[in-house]
Amino acid sequence: MKRLSILLLGAALTACSEAPKPYVLTGRIANVGADDLLLIGEQVSRMDTVRLAADGSFIYTRTLGKPAFGFAYVPDKAFYSLILIGGTTSHLEADTANPVEYRITGDLEAAQAFQAARNRRLAELEEQEFASFGEMQAAYTAVRDSLKGGLEKIKPKAFRALELASIEATIDNDLTDYFQTLRRRGAAFDSDADYNRYMEEMELTADNAVTYLYWKESCAGREAAPSFLCMVQTADRKIADPELKERTVISLMANCFSAGSADMGAACEAALPLITDKEQAQWLTETYEANKRLIPGAPALDCELEDPQGTKLHFADLYGKTLYIDVWATWCGPCCEEIPHLEKLVESYRNDSRIAFVSISVDKDREDWLQKLAADNPQWRQLRNPEFTSLYGISGIPCFLMISPDGTIITVHAPRPSDPEIRTFIDQTLAR
């Protein structure tokens, strides 16, 4: 008996000391060039690079952490969904000439097929128009039960756990997003009692907490200009888990800074005590300091500008009318795409003395700017300052600002000229 116990103990210790088994993916991708690479991983920021042989074949081996959904792609040519589970071997056959059609065989063949079928079924549901939230919830519940029944037959066990969590998250996401249907119908966001009950009773997670908070703001009639202070306060009351609360508040504040919200200071003050991570708290403080000078109502930042004739003037010289500022550059494709829309917008308000349109180029090369103006012949004011984006903390162009006649900031995130709501936005701004 003692000998048997020793043998069993030895077997257990051996099993515990075994290294994790690697995930293996082999395959062949047709119609790839000599310079093409295959990238494999879970996140775009952390991908492994795999070299393809002349015939497109490859072998990829990786010791993984926990099971996950991932993907492989040939940049600019093809994308393939993968299931990454240690101890399994799969084989990919694909052709970049037909990127939608590909086949994965091996240990996870049934799992890959199940996942593809699941995606199709849920996509079909997402296309349906439901008369009420109750009808939508019943349809999703039926599909969920059907998928869970089919999933029990699929191996390995690690996939079943991964897939079940994904099914639940996707369905929860779709049901939570029912307010989009209410928006399309022009209905109040709290007009469906079943939906209200679902939103208030659901367990808040990293996937749905922010959506819930925006829904609450919309129910309060603040969809167009949500109060980030109110959302932070609601998160503090509603979310019990400290880690989830902190993650949610950080996401809210990132959105707050991006939107240039007028209640940024109050929201930041309410958020800071809820953040225990020192790096995140430092990020919050520093980002607020960098953005507070750009909140609505703050004085616009003055700077020197140059017109096409070389005359120097100050930004403050433009005050006296509501200003719609287009920040652009000749080398920026999306900026140039907005020019025809801006031209129509200028024409729409040609006889309105309350507003002026100004384009400020950030081109460093003055000649490039002048050549573009000569080619386009815009009929509104054109100025240049290569440092304007740095001054206003603009991370990407095109960017559009609205400045009040007295030189205070209305917003540094105005709609684009191509936005269908731009005229409504301008009219409402001028009517204040």
For the residues 144-155, what does the mean pLDDT come to? 96
Class of domain 23-107: mainly beta
Task: Tell me the average pLDDT of the chain.
Answer: 92
Q: What is the pLDDT of residues 231-268, one digit of tens each?
A: 999 999 999 999 999 999 999 999 998 888 889 999 99
- Token pair, residue 313, equals 């003037």
26, 59 Cβ separation under 8 angstroms: yes
Residues 260, 155: Cα–Cα separation, whole Å? 49
Q: What is the pLDDT of residues 273-332, one digit of tens each?
A: 999 999 999 999 998 988 888 888 889 999 999 999 999 999 999 999 999 999 999 999
Confidence band of 18 (pLDDT split at 50, 70, 90): low
* Biggest distance spanned by C-alpha atoms of the chain: 101
CATH superfamily, region 304-431: Glutaredoxin (3.40.30.10)
Q: What is the pLDDT of residues 23-77, one digit of tens each?
A: 999 999 999 998 889 999 998 778 999 999 999 999 999 998 899 999 999 998 9
Burial of 163 (0-12, 13-18, 19+ CB in 10 A): buried
Residues 24, 92: Cα–Cα separation, whole Å? 11
* Residue whose tokens read 């140059």: 306
Q: What is the pLDDT of residues 352-388, one digit of tens each?
A: 999 999 999 999 999 999 999 999 999 999 999 999 9
Q: What is the pTM of this model?
A: 0.69
List, as one string, the DSSP characters of 228-264.
HHHHHHHHHHH---HHHHHHHHHHHHHHHHHHT-TTH
The ranges assigned to domains in the chain are: 23-107, 108-192, 203-295, 304-431
